[in-house]
Structure 1
Amino acid sequence: MSNLAYEDHGGEDDGDAAALRSVRPVPRISIQSFCETEAVASAVERAGQDRRMLKTHLKVHMGGLSTALEFYQTAPTPNLIILESRNEPKDLMGSLQQLSEYCDPATKVIVVGHYNDVGLYRDLMRAGISEYMVAPVTMTDIINVIAGIFIDPEAAPMGNSIAFVGAKGGVGSSTIAHNIAWSISTLFKSEVVVADLDLAFGTANINFDQDPPQGMAEAVFAPDRVDEVYLDRLLTQCAEHLSLLAAPSTLDRTYDFDSDAFSQIIDTAQRSAPVLILDLPHVWTGWARQILTRADEVVITATPELANLRNAKTMIDMLKKLRPNDAPPKLILNQVGMPKRPEISPKEFADPLGIDPLAVIPFDPQLFGKAGNSGRMIGETDAKSPITQQLSEIARILTGRGEIKARKSRSFGGLLGRLKRKK
């Protein structure tokens, strides 16, 4: 058991995404919690469901210290024990002394008590307790304390990961992702890595006019080799501050992966650059769900049609469940104003989703076609285009350098009813 400085916990909003935005994922550890009250048990369970705790193995028991003492007489102790106790300070210290006889020396212990007593805190720290928290505690408190114990403060900061996915195939999600990556690298002179995760049909190499001999396939099929040095060898330099981990875009093999297949690559890439752009294909697999759950930001691109609206709503609803402590996904409406195509207006599209589009990008086949056919970005093709300015503003918002205008209250109109009738 080891020491950490005491902090006064409690009183934060459980759903405050800002309080957890800078918290890095907790490493793969085992956690067992022994609680006396439903309130603390619920906070611990909610913490275990957060994307930052996905690698951990957490089990919650009811019964407090007495149950823990009985349990560990015959079971090994995990990496972390969370103990809630309503005992008075003297009794609490005695029970913890008994528990220490069964604890592995490397096991960390967090105590959640009901006495705000400085003397008790000092005694606990001398006894080797990692942290003492005073109830009531929130899910945010739990995650922050666990992260503080198991994440090295001296470690290099993790880059920000932004996942782009289309509500439907062919909506331009990849094109938007590549142009946003270029805009971030150009506007802020910040290193950006683009990871093309559509191994069979990825277009990043075409859009950036590159023909790399190796890239994502080499990384995903040899995960044990992936570190910063190996990843650097696989990256292709596309611009001064922009690198690409390209997809092979070949069909000489199938690309069926486990849920964690890309985890090592993403973790390594985040240590290599401040911004990681994840270009996902329109699929719903275990690995795609895992990446969308773990990403710092998710951007869904859609065109103004009914199937796109249905898919966007399904995806947004699911991601809100998978990421309950994060801001909702961002939405980009693309190819708006296509001649002779019946379209849903941006307002009607946004109403059933409950979120405003981050941007509404007009249909401009000449500009996008010219850029795509020449292997250049929109900003390189026409720096003065209003679409270039839109892409720059999206880049600012996604990197925290811009603001989204507040959404006015709207009623969820008849379009949602149309969706329900079509099911």
Structure 2
Amino acid sequence: MSSLAYETNHLEESRQADTTLQSLRPVPRISIQAFCETDAVAGPIERAGEDRRMAKAHLKVHMGGLATALEFYQTAATPNLIIVESREEPQALLASLQKLAEVCDASSRVVVIGHHNDVWLYRELIRAGVSEYVVAPISMADIVGVVAGIFVDPDAAPLGRSIAFVGAKGGVGSSTLAHNLAWTMSALFDSEVVVADMDLPFGTANINFDQDPAQGIAEAVFSPERIDEVYLDRLLAQCAERLSLLAAPSTLDRTYDFEAEAFAQIIDTAQRTAPVVVLDVPHLWTGWTRTTLARVDEVVITATPELANLRNTKNLVDTLAKLRPNDGPPKLILNQTNMPKRPEIGADDFAEPLGIAPLAVIPFEPQLFGSAANNGRMLGEMDHDHPIVQTLNELAHVLTGRREIKAKRKTGLALLLDRLNLKTT
């Protein structure tokens, strides 16, 4: 196979794996122990444990196959899931698994990773009570998919898509874009959208949507034991026909210090009630903001074209790459560009050290934004035909997965070369 064909196949496999991962729902809080004979299997399992969809699961990888597992469980309790790799022949593998069954709790599930592509073996393993048999080599996506297939209820209501907006600095317009894009998504697609204002002391969603709800996100985060779909529905303020707001109190009568998992249940519950959940994350770096950004489906960073914004965006991009190793990079929006008399970093120069191109470049337009903010209305309500509103429409399509990011327009020379290549093939 030529190197070009190999790279094409590899890219296609990567795209398929990404698609598979994106469609998977988070795994619940379970314990998993894996016993591996080869690094080629241990590596993908370890990477699966780092995936955000496995954030609630506790995974430990041991080197050594069935023999090590048998010895280990002589004195230790078995977890919710045992993953074992074995290079044994089919008959020997079945015999070893029978011994493992003798030391396992009845509630423990077992996944076997073998090296024999044998239909008879697969049927015998399933008949013996094994949850799944996977033939090596395996990928990280294979492991996450197998675990999700066992422990995630396929009949449960589908989870909505969570999109977190965060600013590289305060005042860059991240909240304004989050609110306007949420409104745009609900209006364009006739789809239910929930906005959660997570800036409890200084949130502006209630002002931007001209709302003054008596309750909101504070009641949910301070009463986690009460959170379910019914309770959350009572806290939501209706901003438009298909847009609901979980408003921040925007008061300073108490301090707002939270544990890392404080908002996790709120977000999970909101995702069960709406196809899209937009999270307006404040410009902070705490345990809960870190956890939120690590686990959402999509992160959108808003920045203005200045040096401090570039530094902060670079830090966010690098940190999120570690927190979300199996996801693509965050989306970037450059906002408030071409401000009169302000020296700026060009969009290409801003993007180069980040390794990501801006999803959109939005010019400084104080009249449009100021009028909308002062009237408690969205940009699309103020001027439906404005170019910035059209940009927001495009962003809504991309962020909801309805449209891919458009490639940059090719130069005349590039187009000419493409035509010449087509003629010679």
TM-score interval for Structure 1 and Structure 2 normalised by the shorter chain: over 0.9
Q: 1:328 to 1:240 in 2, by over 3 A?
A: same
Partner residue in 2 for 1:203: 204
Deviation at 1:12, TM superposition (A): 4.5
Q: Is the 8 A contact 1:26 1:55 kept in 2?
A: yes
TM alignment of 1:224-373, pairs within 5 A: 224-373=225-374
- For residues 47-69 of structure 1, the C-alpha deviation after alignment (integer angstroms, 9 at most, x for no partner) is 00000000000000011100100
1:134 CA displacement: 0.5
Name the counterpart of 1:75: 76
CA distance in 2, matches of 1:331, 1:338: 19
Looking at structure 1, the residues matched to 325 and 186 of structure 2 have their Cα atoms a distance apart, in angstroms, of: 30
Mapped to 2, the partners of 1:85 and 1:14 lie a distance apart of 29
Give me the CA root mean square deviation.
1.4
* Secondary structure of the corresponding residue to residue 277 of structure 2: strand
Q: Distance in 2 between matches of 1:43 and 1:406?
A: 32
Q: 2:25 maps to which residue? A: 24
Partner of residue 413, structure 1: none
Counterpart Cα distance in 1 of 2:50 and 2:18: 14
Determine the C-alpha separation between the residues in 2 that align with 1:191 and 1:286.
Answer: 29
Using the size of structure 1 for normalisation, the TM-score is 0.93
Q: Is the 8 A contact 1:79 1:107 kept in 2?
A: yes
Corresponding residue for residue 105 of structure 1: 106
- 1:355–1:407 CA contact under 8 A, matched in 2: no
Which moved further from structure 2: 316-325 or 265-274? 316-325
**CA contact under 8 A between 1:356 and 1:407: conserved in structure 2?**
no
Shift of 1:105: 1.1
Q: Which residue of 2 aligns with 1:40?
A: 41
Identity within the alignment, % = 71
Instruction: State the AA in 2 paired with 1:302.
Output: A
> What SS class does the counterpart of residue 224 from structure 1 fall into?
helix
Q: Give the TM-score, by structure 2 length.
A: 0.92
Q: Deviations over 1:2-22 (max 9, x none)?
A: xxxxxxxxx944994223111
- Residue identity in the other structure for 1:134: V
Contact 1:12 1:138 in 2 (8 A): no
Post-superposition CA distance 1:159-214 (Å, at most 9, x none)? 00000000000000000000000000000010000000000100000000000001
Q: CA separation of 1:127/1:14 partners in 2, compared to 1, >3 Å: closer, same or farther?
A: farther
The alpha-carbon deviation at position 408 of structure 1 amounts to 9.1
Per-residue CA distance 1:201-247 (angstroms, 9 max, x = gap): 00000000000001000000001100000000000000000000000
How many matched pairs?
Answer: 399
Instruction: Name the structure 1 match of 2:387.
Output: 386
Equivalent AA in structure 2 for residue 264 of structure 1: Q
SS at match of 1:331: strand
Q: Give ranges in structure 1 of 5+ residues lacking alignment.
A: 1-10, 410-423
Please state if 1:52 is matched with 2:53: yes
Displacement of 1:407 in angstroms is: 5.9
Separation in structure 1 between the aligned mates of residue 173 and residue 32 of structure 2, nearest angstrom:
42
Cα distance in 2 for partners of 1:12, 1:259 equals 35
- Which secondary structure state, in structure 2, belongs to the residue aligned with residue 352 of structure 1? coil
Task: Verify the 8 A CA contact 1:16 1:325 in the aligned structure 2.
Answer: no
Would you say the 8 A contact 1:157–1:271 is kept in 2? yes
1:400-415 alignment, distance < 5 Å: 400-406=401-407
Instruction: Return the letter of the residue paired with 2:106.
Output: P
SS in 1 for 2:70: helix
State how far apart, in whole Å, the 1-side matches of 2:17 and 2:327 are.
Answer: 8
- On the 8 A contact 1:165/1:301 being kept in 2, the answer is yes
Deviation at 1:104, TM superposition (A): 1.1
SS in 2 for 1:372: helix
Residue in structure 2 matched with residue 173 of structure 1 by the alignment = 174
Matches of 1:103 and 1:406 in 2, distance apart?
A: 54
Q: Map of 1:114-125 to 2, 5 A cutoff?
A: 114-125=115-126
Question: Secondary structure in 2 aligned to 1:60?
Answer: strand
Whether the 8 Å CA contact 1:13–1:138 is kept in 2: the answer is no
2:154 is aligned to 153
- The alignment partner of 1:21 has SS state of helix
Tell me the amino acid that sits aligned with residue 123 of structure 2: R
